[in-house]
Structure 1
Amino acid sequence: MNLRVLLGASVICALSVPAFAETTLTIATVNNGDMIRMQKLTSDFTAKHPDIKLNWVTLEENILRQRVTTDIATKGGQYDVVTIGNYEVPIWAKQNWLLPLDNMPADYDAKDILPAVSKALTVNNKLYAAPFYGESAMVMYRTDLAKKAGVNIPEQPTWTQIFTAAKAMTDKSNGVYGICLRGKAGWGENIAFLTAMANSYGAAWFDMNWKPEFDKPEWKAALTDYVSALTKYGPPGASSNGFNENLALFQQGKCGIWIDSTVGAGFVTDPKESKVADNVGFAQFPNKEGVNNHGNWLWSWNLAIPASTKKAKAATEFVAWATSKEYTDLVAKQQGWRAAPPGTRTSLYNNANYQKAAPFAKLTLQSIDAVTPDQPSVQKTPYTGSQFVSIPEFQAIGTAVGQQFSAAVAGQLKLDQVLQSAQSLTTREMTKAGYIK
C-alpha cells in the first residue's frame, strides 16, 4: 500500500473519532413548574457544555422522594444529580451519601445565598447542596372575591379571620370554593402544611422526652379547624389535592384563599397561566389568637450530587449552572423577572426589576427571614425543623400520619380516631427507633 493511501485512511479514522468524551448525566427532579421551566432552558447549558448530555427523570413529589431515598441509601448510582429538600441534606450529608460542593466555579458566589437557606444546607462548614429555589408559606387570596364578600384579610391574619373570609367567599353554585389547602397524604404534602398550622396553634410533634403530642388539645384544635374548613368551604376531592392540584384550582378561579408555599405566588400572578392574575393579594401565614407563632415553614428544593456518582465533575458543572445568578438572568430574559426562581439569593431581592415585577417579593423574604427552625413551636422541643422534624424516621412516620389525616378529610375516619391512631403509630415507631426508652 502506498503512502498516500495510508495517509487517507488515517484521516478517515481521525474524523470518525469524537473530539471529546461524551458524558450523560441522569437528573432526578420533581414535576413542579420551576423544575419544568429549567428543563426547557437547558439548551443554554448544553450549548456551553457540548460534551454533557442530560437525561431527565421527572416524578411526582412523593414518588421522587421514595425513589431517590432508596437509590441513595443503597448506593445504587442510578442518578448523578438529585433534587432533594433541606430536610434530607443534613441527614444524608452526615451519612456520607452526598458529595460536598467544594469545586463550584470561582464566580458562583455562595455567599449570596440567603443565610437561612445556606445554613440549612451546610454541615461542618461545607455546602452539600445548592438551592434551586427556596420558600416559606403565605396566604394567597382573591381580592375581588374578598371585596365582593365584604371581608378584609390583613397582612398578619388570624385563623379566625381566614375561616370567616373563606366562608364568605364560598359560592359552590358557581364553582368557587372559599379555601384550598393540601389534603394529599405525604410527609411533604399534607403533613408539611399541617405541621406548620399546628405550630401556629402552639402544638408540637414531640415533648422533650420524644413522646408524641397528638393527644394534646393544640393538635385537636388545629386538625378540627383544618378538616372543618375543607369540608365546608373546600373543593370536592380535597383529600387528593397537593401543591400542584391547588395551584391549578386557584389559577382557574376556583379558590378564594390558598395557603401554601410562597413559590406559588409567581404562578398565580402570571397572566399567561392564571385567569385571576390581576386579583391576587398576599398575607402572612396565619396564627391562632393568643399564640405568637405564624407557623414555621422553610423549604428549599436543592440540587445535590450523590456520593455514588462516577460523573462528579460534570454533575458539579450542571449544579453550578442551574443555581447561578446567570440562570436567574436567563429566566428573566426568557420569561420575565416574575418567573425568576425565588427564595435563594440576596441579590434577587435587591434587584429593582424583580421588586417591580413581583409584588410578593417583600413578603416572601420577610417570611423566610422570620422562620426559626431551631425553635419551630412555642413549646420546647427536642428536634429542629420547620414544617418537618429533622430526624431520619420522619419520612415514614410523617407519611403514615398523613394518611390518617387525609382519611379524616375524606370522611373515612373520625377525628378522635385519627388522632388516637397518629399517637399510637408514632409512639410505636419512636420506641422501635430507640427515642422512647
Structure 2
Amino acid sequence: MLSTRKTLTAFAACCTAFSMSASAATELTIATVNNGHMIEMQKLSEEFEKQNPDIKLNWVTLEEGVLRQRVTTDIATKGGQFDVMTIGMYETPIWAEKGWLKEIETDAAYDVDDLLPSMRAGLSVDGKLYAVPFYGESSMVMYRKDLVDKAGMTVPDRATWGHIRDVAAAIHDPDNGVYGICLRGKPGWGDNTAFVTTMANSFGAQWFDENWKPQLNSPEWNHAVNFYVDLLSTYGPPGSSSNSFNEILALFNEGKCGMWIDATIAASFITDPKQSKVHDKVAFAQSPVAVTDRGANWLWAWALAVPAATQNTEAAQKFVTWATSKDYIKLVAEKNGWASVPTGTRQSTYETQAFLDAASFAEAELAAINSADPANSTQNPSPYVGVQFAAIPEFQAIGIATGQQLSSALAGKTTVEKALQSANKSADREMRKSGYYK
C-alpha cells in the first residue's frame, strides 16, 4: 500500500511538473503583412516550433496599410500587443532612435556580414542592427515579352517614360483582356505614393527643398503626375485607383497586364508556374527615367523587429534570426524550389548556382537593388534620406494625405493641379507644426 502511495505521489508530481512546463511556454504574437512570402513563413514556422517546443507562435496577418497603422499605434503607445513586428526601412531608424526597438543580437552562425550592404545599412543606426530583412526589394519593369516582340517593340534598361508609353500603346488590347500597363493607384504612403515618388524623382522632382519646404506644387511634380494619370487612364485596367500590389499581381498572373513596374519581389511570383499563366513569357528591365536616373527605383526591405515593450525578448530574438537566416532560405528551397525563396537580403543567395538557374529575374533584381541610393535620390540637393519616402517622422502623415489626393486625381474626382496643391498645403501644415520652419 505504501509503495502504491509513493508511486501515485511520484506520478502526480511528474504530471504537475509537465503541466507547469506546458503552461510556461512562451507565446509570441507576430504582426505581419499578407503577401506570399510572409504567408509561406507562417506555414514553415511549424519547423521553428518543432525546434523550440517552449515557444508558441500567434499570427496577426494584415493588409499593408492596416499593418502600418496597427504597429505604429502599438509601438508609439508602448502597448505591447506584438512581440515581433514586420516593419521596413522607413520605420526602423526612426523608431530605433526613439528607443522603441530592441537591438538585434546575432551570433556567428547568422553571418550578419552576408546581408547585402544596402539592406543592412537601411536597418541600422550607428552601426547597430535594429531589424533583420526577411526580404529586400527595389523596383523594376516586368513585361510580357511575347506581346512586346509581337508589336515589334523592345523594353531596354532605363527606357524613357515616353518609350514606356509607346510600348503600352502598342500592346494595349482591352478587347482581348490585355491592358498595356498596370501601376499602383491605391492610396497609401507605401502604395501609390511610393511608386509615384520614384517616377517624380526621375522627372527631377523632390519632396522638400533644402529648407524643408514642400515642393509638391512644382512643375516637375505636375509633369510627372499628369503623365502618370494620363498613362494609366489610357492604357491601364479599370479601377486602377484601387489597385495595390496584390490586385495587380493577380491581374498579371491572369495575363491581363502587358507591363508592370513594381517591387522586384513580384518576379518570383509571376515566373512561378503554379501561380502564373504567363510564367514563361516574362522579361525584366531596369526602371524608366525622364530627365535623370536618380531615385528612379526604390529601395525597401520588409524586416522583422522586436519592440522594446515586449516581455519575451529572448524568444522574439530567436524567431527573427531563424526566419531571416541562411537556413530558412534553404528550407524554403527544399520545400518549394529555389525560385520561391525570399530574395534581396543575402549575398550568398545570389552566389548559389541553383538559385541563379531557377530565377530568371535574379540578375535584374540585384542590379536594381544595388543601383538604388537613398542618400542621393533627387536631381537637385535634398535634405532627406530615402528614395520613395523621406525618412522623417512627419512623412507618414504627409505621404498618406498625398496618396489620397493622387488616387482622387487618377479616379477623375479632381484635377492633378488641385490634388497637388492640396497635398502641398497638407505637407506645409505638417512641417510648420513640427517646427521645421515658421
Q: TM-score range by the shorter chain?
A: over 0.9
Cα offset, 1:3, TM superposition = 5.0
Structure 1 pair 225–363 and aligned structure 2 pair: CA distance change class (3 A): same
Q: Distance in 1 between matches of 2:46 and 2:65?
A: 28
Which digits, 9 at most, give the CA deviation of each residue in 1:90-137, with x for residues without a partner? 0000000000012x2330001100000100111122100010000000
Q: 1:110 aligns with which of 106, 112, 123?
A: 112
CA–CA distance in 1 between the matches of 2:125 and 2:239? 41
**C-alpha separation in 2, matches of 1:253 and 1:206:** 39
Structure-2 residue corresponding to 1:66 = 69
Shift of 1:8: 1.7
CA contact (8 A) 2:295 2:378 kept: no
User: Is 2:384 the partner of 1:383?
Assistant: yes
Q: Tell me, what secondary structure is at the counterpart of 2:134?
A: strand
Give yes or no for contact 1:296–1:376 (8 Å, CA) kept in 2.
no
Structure 2 unaligned regions, length at least 5: none
Q: Which residue of 1 aligns with 2:90?
A: 87
Q: Which residue of 1 aligns with 2:356?
A: 355
Q: Which one is further off, 294-303 or 18-27? A: 18-27
Aligned to 1:340: 341
**Counterpart for residue 400 of structure 1:** 401
The question of whether the paired residues in 1 share the 8 Å contact of 2:115 and 2:345 is answered with yes
**SS state of the match for residue 386, structure 2?**
coil
Cα deviation, residue 391, structure 1: 0.3
Match among 77, 81, 88 for residue 78 of structure 1: 81
Indicate the residue corresponding to 1:273 in structure 2: 275
> What is the CA–CA distance in structure 2 between the aligned matches of 1:327 and 1:171, rounded to whole Å?
42
Is 1:373 paired with 2:392? no
State the 1:436 CA deviation.
Answer: 2.1
In structure 2, how many angstroms separate the alpha carbons of the residues matched to 1:16 and 1:249? 56
Q: Deviations over 1:370-414 (max 9, x none)?
A: 111011101100111111110001111100110000000111011
Amino acid at match of 2:387: S
Matched to 1:240, the amino acid is: S
RMSD: 1.2
TM-score w.r.t. length of structure 1: 0.98
Partner of 2:308: 307
Aligned position for 1:431: 432
CA contact (8 A) 2:133 2:302 kept: yes
Q: How does 1:128-207 map to 2 (within 5 A)?
A: 128-207=130-209
8 Å CA contact retained: 1:80, 1:312: yes
Determine if the alignment matches structure 1 residue 22 to structure 2 residue 25: yes
Identify which range, 148-157 or 29-38, moves more after superposition: 148-157
Q: Report the counterpart of residue 49 of structure 1 in structure 2.
A: 52
> Could you tell me whether the CA contact under 8 Å between 1:26 and 1:78 is conserved in 2?
yes
Structure 1 residue 291: deviation in Å?
Answer: 2.2
Asked whether the 8 Å contact 1:286–1:294 carries over to 2, the reply is no
CA contact (8 A) 1:285 1:294 kept: no
2:135–2:342 contact (8 Å) kept in structure 1: yes
Instruction: Give the whole-Å Cα distance in 2 for the aligned partners of 1:375 and 1:156.
Output: 17
- Aligned mates of 2:25, 2:355 — CA distance in 1: 37
Q: Contact 1:296–1:372 at 8 Å: present in 2 too?
A: no
CA distance in 2, matches of 1:359, 1:32: 21
Whether the aligned pair in 2 keeps the contact of 1:230 and 1:238 (CA below 8 Å) is yes
For the 8 Å contact 1:296–1:373, the answer to whether it is kept is: no
- The counterpart of 1:262, out of the listed 261, 264, 267, is 264
Structure 2 CA distance for aligned equivalents of residues 245 and 436 of structure 1? 40
Letter in 1 for 2:303: N
- What's the secondary structure of 1:177's corresponding residue? coil
Cα deviation, residue 307, structure 1: 0.3
1:155, 1:220 → 2: CA distance? 25
Aligned partner of 1:4 in structure 2 is 4
Structure 2: distance between partners of 1:127 and 1:296: 24
Q: Distance in 1 between matches of 2:415 and 2:86?
A: 36
- The verdict on how the C-alpha distance between 1:292 and 1:317 changes in structure 2, with shifts beyond 3 A counting, is closer
**Structure 1 position 87, deviation (Å):** 0.5
The DSSP-based 3-state class of the residue aligned with 1:267 is helix
